[in-house]
Amino acid sequence: MENRQNCRSHSKIWLVAASVFAIGLTAPPAAHASYFEEFDAPGATATYAISINSNGNVAGFYIEPKTAHRALFTHGFFRLANGTITTVDPPSSQFTSPQAMNGNDIMVGYYSFRRRGGRFHGFLRSPGGTFTEIDVDQARDTFPAAINASGQVTGYYDLATGSNCHGFLRQTDGSVTAFDVPQAQCTIPVGINKSGTIAGSWSDGVTSHGFVRNPDGTLISFDVPAAEGTVAESLDNAGRVIGHYSTSSGLIEAFLRDSDGTITTFSVAGALQTFATDLAARKNGGAAATGYAYDVNFHATGYVRGTEGFGNTFEAPGAGGGTGQGTFATAIISDRRITGYYVDQSDITHSFIRIP
């Protein structure tokens, strides 16, 4: 996994609200116990884990409570595998949102000097804590979404609030190439793998489609067959893409697109909606995927699924069982460690790492 998540919230608005949905994720022949590490950033009212790397380190953001003397702030964080948490904020930021981190602990994301109505700037944070600003030339807002092992960064930008958005690729020397899927009103990359292949979604103004951009710059658009809208969420180092799609009846299901273009759809048995958020290539040649599913009461449950089709659902121990509560898996690495967040019975958000 070498990608980010708040850009996902932007892509999901392209899909219509979902209705009933459900079959496909079956339990493996034999399951073994896993355990959870649950954590909160110090002083946070809500903690959201977004990315995990091969070192077991986690990046995300947390919300600090509003006081009589200052507004509510959103801070980034970096959590070492030993549990040590460091706040991550570019200088003078009031809103920091890390989106991805590679195996070298280099983090990318975006920030603003104002919590509401401010311009968004991209950032790259070195393991030592040094920040480099990422702003596409002439852009109003720049949103880095993913970084690969060599340090290439992808994301999107706009020229004015509410304007069309465009994809970009930033090389390690700081040079930036802008790109758009032909006929796109908005191009939103979400992931980049070690070869420099990029995946994401694009909108034609009516609905959303997936795309893959090869290292030579060629673009391939794709749709799940018969889908009303296709949204890519991540890709792995083998070029497989994962995401979700909507149907003409308003249903939502997940998909896995292989590097040869073959698409497999799946959903969690008994679920109302199934979202796929991330996948990682495994040494055996397969991949491990994760995400979450809503039941009829809009309670969320996390899941893990292999390319062989076996999988199981899981709940963070502290997760609540009510509407809007539950477990939201956001990222996975090759050994099937998963990070994400959960909402407890008091509607407070905490983060977790699931260790198989």
Which pLDDT score is estimated for 162? Answer: 66
How high is the pLDDT of residue 118?
78
With respect to residue 53, please indicate whether it lies within any of the assigned structural domains: yes
Q: How many domains does the chain contain in total?
A: 1
In a domain, 173, yes or no: yes
Burial zone of 100 (CB within 10 Å; 0-12 exposed, 13-18 middle, 19+ buried): buried
Q: Compute the mean pLDDT over every residue in the chain, rounded to the nearest whole number.
A: 89
For 143-152, 216-225, 278-287, 334-343, which range has the lowest pLDDT when averaged over its residues?
Answer: 278-287
Most confident of 22-31, 137-146, 242-251: 137-146
d(CA 66, CA 61): 16
Residue 13 pLDDT grade (very low, low, confident, very high; cuts 50, 70, 90):
very low
Whether 151 shows a pLDDT value over 80: the answer reads yes
Residue 348 lies in a domain: yes
Residue 97 lies in a domain: yes
Please check whether residue 256 is in contact with residue 263, taking contact to mean a CB–CB distance below 8 angstroms. yes
How far apart are the C-alpha atoms of 93 and 73, rounded to whole Å? Answer: 9
**CATH, residue 94:** 2.130.10.10
Region 83-109: mean pLDDT is 96
What's the distance, CA 32 to chain centroid?
A: 27
pTM given for the model: 0.89
Give residue 186's domain range. 6-355
> 74-99 burial, b if ≥16 CB within 10 A, otherwise e?
bbbbbbeeeeebebbbbeebbbbbbb
Radius of gyration, alpha carbons of the chain? 19
Tell me which long-range contacts 260-267 makes (C-beta under 8 A, separation of at least 24): 261/220, 261/222, 263/222, 263/224, 263/225, 265/24, 265/224, 266/24, 266/25, 266/305, 266/309, 267/21, 267/22, 267/23, 267/24, 267/25, 267/293
Average pLDDT on 301-325 reads 92
Does the structure show a pLDDT above 70 at 22? Answer: no
In a domain, 1, yes or no: no
Task: Report in angstroms the alpha-carbon separations of 178 from 11, 109, 117, 213, 298.
Answer: 19, 18, 25, 12, 38
Instruction: Quote the pLDDT of residue 147.
Output: 98
